[in-house]
Amino acid sequence: SWFGPGLVVMSSHLWPRGHVITLSSMYGSLESPNFPEPYPRDLDLVWDIRVQAGFRIRLDFSHFHLEPSYLCEYDYVKVEADGELLGLFCGSEPTDTEAVPGSTSSSTSSSSSPLLSPSSSLSITFRTDYSDEDRYTGFRAHYTAQDVDECLERSDEELLCDHFCHNFIGGFYCSCRHGYKLHPDNRTCTVHCKDVVFRESSGIISSPEFPGSYPKSSDCQYQIQVQTGFRVRLEFDAVFDVEDHPEATCPYDYVKVVSGGRELGPFCGSVAPGSIETESSSVMILFHSDNSGENQGWSLNYTTTGSVCPAPETPPHAVLSPVQSEYSFTDHVLFTCQSGHRILKVQPRDGHFLEHFQIDCLANGTWSSSAPLCQGQKVDCGNPPPVTRAQILFLDQNRTTFGSKVRYQCETEPGLNLSTSHPGSVLVLVSSGCGLSRSLPSLVKRIVGGRTADSGMFPWQVLLQVQDRTRIPEQNWFGSGSLLSETWVLTAAHVLRSPRRDGSVVPIDPQHIQVFLGVHSSSLKHQAQQRIVGAVVLHPDFQPQNYNHDIALLRLSSAAQLSDVIRPVWVRVRPGLVLPHTLGVVAGWGLSVTPDPALSPGPAPLTSDLLQFVKLPVVPQEECVASYASRSADYNISLSMFCAGYSEGGRDTCPGDSGGAFVQDQGQDQRWTVVGIVSWGGPEDCGSKRVYGVYTRVEHYRDWILQTMKD
């Protein structure tokens, strides 16, 4: 008989073997026949539980007492779902060969751990043999339907939704990012890309989201329509990834080009179509994608050409720009005279001087004017402007007229030399190669979490391996630094200090420090350029108890060999430029693990193989002080420190290795300047709310750095 939803009470009578009892309520109970009296012999019963789609079943045993046997050969309860065995149970206590559904609290009861079905159905089989050696009371179990969060995907499954998945009780629904619409399949997000018209003479067209995966189920139409008389030329990017098939021609996704009554394509696969001369001013590009696949897509650059003008002649003492192999309709040419000369306009002959003179290529293939003449003038450049920390030497009897030369000679600052951009300009004091990166990461928008750096992106990054042989047992750790010149490395003082219980400051012996330059993969550091240390210079006021003045310098015993992946960072910090909310970049081998010990007091272990980097905003000083004051009065944020990170917390609030550089782009010449050194953080785990990383403020120590490097 039935009592309530899903509850079945089984009286003491014979049940046919293989008898199936179906339960379809959202919750219920089941128990062995005669429970709590001993169950009958020779039983073969099956409970088939099925609940609504979108739910899974949770099964809990409140009592379990069956005959024990080796591998449950005699009496057992078997739980299955979707052909998968979830458990085979017997006995009353777990052994090496027997399992019970939970930890046994007595000989006749069990406080069970739940069993969960992967879907909305569950099968429970209860089988007994023909004999019992004791009075076994059987089992009682309870089941409930639990909502399945379809939006939590397994790693080996295809995403349910292209963009956003929203779970509700018994199901889910999908939504799309702005600019997309939901496909009728209610899973795929498609983009509107029809009737898109390009009227400019040149431009870039690409598949949606390029270089990311393009949307599924899309039909895009891109129309290039330029002025009549121009011809459109297409140049596909080498990166071309459109789904194809080894035995059929572009059956899934494809690109087609239609112009002048011709249809080119379809194109798909990984080989780009290259250059296409359309010979037309109107071109249609068609792109189709089906409802599957994850491909990168394509991009092309289109240009237009018109009537060709003859190559213009360059007059004496003039510079022509731009220099091209061919000039066509709407192209412009700009003439500029060399230093010491002025443009004399040819027509009209009024002696009027111009700084520049432009002529245009017309639609009929002729130039709008003839080339100008450059006339020599006696020009006095005036007194040369002073340059900081440099002396001016006149080489032509104190003359400052055109053609005369002066020389600037550096006075004190190490690692500086002089360069000039073009004749007649003033020499500018620069540090050769300092702060230049192979590919500068943009600081326009925030990137949360660490990202893998490209090789050469942070050429000043130095990996330090430190051994403290004065400790028993011997201690080893890793840290980071930044190359300031061919022979000097900047880092944090606590990285190079041997820990002492009495708080004394004892530097690590230089011979126990290894320096690796140009490292990208830490596991391959021994293949990188290595240097030994000639001297360790900790700041004389370093205080290990509160990390004040946490800055140090290493002098290499031999100069580093500079290359594309090994260059010094710029250290000429101007006071007051580390402004709140400005972004900086930190690199290191400890960015990819949370919590990151790199910002905890003490040297940091090496946690990531490939060099990582993260972008962080400078925190207002009052917020930095208040954040740590709210945790403990023992935390001291001095004026020689600043904080960086996000108030909401996250793994990006504590990046880098101890001693690594916090750099900012402080110039118009794309030179990166070290403004901070990774010092400490805490007290909660890295990434907690309002737990910022604390950095040594380099601008306070600029004179100490320069004087130490000079000495």
CA 106/CA 457 separation, integer angstroms: 64
Q: What is the dihedral of CA 670, 672, 675, 681, to 10 degrees?
A: 120
Residues 402, 424 contacting (CB under 8 angstroms): yes
CA 300/CA 198 separation, integer angstroms: 13
CA 622/CA 614 separation, integer angstroms: 23
User: CA of 541: how far to CAs of 126, 493, 499, 505, 547, in Å?
Assistant: 77, 10, 16, 10, 10
Residues 410, 430 contacting (CB under 8 angstroms): no
Catalytic-residue membership of 550:
yes
The answer to whether the annotation marks 158 as part of a ligand binding site is no
The answer to whether the annotation marks 623 as part of a ligand binding site is no
CB within 8 A of 134, min separation 6: which ones? 67
Peptide bond into 473 cis (omega under 30): yes
The answer to whether the annotation marks 259 as part of a ligand binding site is no
Nearest CA-CA partner of 553 in 600, 496, 477: 496
The answer to whether the annotation marks 75 as part of a ligand binding site is yes
Catalytic residue among 63, 65, 341, 494: 494
The answer to whether the annotation marks 292 as part of a ligand binding site is yes
The answer to whether the annotation marks 253 as part of a ligand binding site is yes
Which H or E run includes 706?
helix 702-710
* In the block, residue with structure tokens 């005279």: 337
* In the block, residue with structure tokens 């001291």: 636
For residue 36, the tally of other CB atoms under 10 A from its CB is 14
Catalytic-residue membership of 132:
no
CA 563/CA 482 separation, integer angstroms: 15
Do you know the residue count of the chain?
711
The answer to whether the annotation marks 413 as part of a ligand binding site is no
- Rounded to a whole number, what is the distance in angstroms from the first to the last CA of the chain? 98
Catalytic residue among 550, 596, 652, 657: 550
Residue 334: what are its φ and ψ, rounded to 5°? -115, 125
The answer to whether the annotation marks 121 as part of a ligand binding site is no
CA 67/CA 100 separation, integer angstroms: 11
Could you tell me the two tokens for 634?
A: 């023992």
The answer to whether the annotation marks 150 as part of a ligand binding site is yes
Catalytic-residue membership of 494:
yes
Catalytic residue among 596, 658, 665, 679: 658
The answer to whether the annotation marks 134 as part of a ligand binding site is no
The answer to whether the annotation marks 148 as part of a ligand binding site is yes
Q: What is the dihedral of CA 16, 20, 25, 31, to 10 degrees?
A: 50
Annotated binding-site members for Ca(2+): 67, 75, 129, 131, 147-148, 150, 167, 171, 243, 253, 290, 292
**Residues classed as catalytic:** 494, 550, 658
Annotated binding-site members: 67, 75, 129, 131, 147-148, 150, 167, 171, 243, 253, 290, 292
